[in-house]
Amino acid sequence: MNKALKHSVTRRVIYSTLASLLIAGLFYGGYSYYFLKSAYETSEASNASFQYGLGELSDKLRASEALNNDLKTLLQARQQEKEAIGQQVQSLSSTVSILDKLSKTDKQLLEKYSSVYFLNENYVPPTLSSIDASFLNRQDKPVQILAGIAQHLADLLNSAKTAGIQLQVLSGYRSFGTQQSLKASYKTVYGSGTANSFSADQGYSEHQLGTAVDFTTPLIGDTFSGFSKSSAYAWLTANAYLYGFNLSYPKNNTHFVFEPWHWRYVGVELAKKLHDENKSLYELDQREIDTYLVKFFD
Ligand SMILES: [Zn+2]
pLDDT, tens digit, 9 for 90 and up, residues 239-286: 999 999 999 999 988 778 899 999 999 999 999 999 999 999 999 999
Interval between CA 298 and ligand 1 midpoint (Å): 23
CA–CA dist 236, 247 (Å, integer)? 9
Query: Among 206, 259, 269, 288, which one carries the catalytic annotation?
Result: 259
Residue-wise pLDDT tens for the chain (298 aa)?
566 666 776 777 667 767 777 777 676 766 777 767 877 777 777 777 778 778 888 888 888 888 889 889 899 999 998 888 888 888 888 888 888 888 888 999 999 987 778 888 899 999 999 999 999 999 999 999 999 999 999 999 999 999 999 999 999 999 888 777 766 666 566 555 554 444 445 677 899 999 999 999 999 999 989 999 999 999 999 999 999 999 999 998 877 889 999 999 999 999 999 999 999 999 999 999 999 999 999 9
- Answer yes or no: 259 catalytic: yes
Q: Measure Cα distances from 38 to 32, 42, 193 in Å.
A: 10, 6, 128
Task: List pLDDT tens digits, range 192-218.
Answer: 555 444 444 567 789 999 999 999 999
Q: Ligand 1 center to residue 201 CA distance, Å?
A: 9
Instruction: Select from 241, 219, 239, 222 the least CA-distant residue to 230.
Output: 219
Distance from Cα 33 to the centre of ligand 1, integer Å:
118
- Could you tell me the residue ranges of all domains in the chain? 1-80, 107-295
Three-class SS state of 106: coil
Q: How many CA atoms lie within 13 A of 180 on its CB side?
A: 4
3-state secondary structure of 83: helix
Residue type, 153: L
Q: Check: CB of residue 171 under 8 Å from CB of residue 213.
A: yes
How large a percentage of the chain has pLDDT more than 90?
49
Q: Report CA(212)–ligand 1 centroid distance (Å).
A: 6
Fold for the domain defined by 107-295: Muramoyl-pentapeptide Carboxypeptidase; domain 2 (3.30.1380)
Other C-beta atoms closer than 10 Å to the C-beta of 154 total: 16
Tell me if the pTM is above 0.75. Answer: no
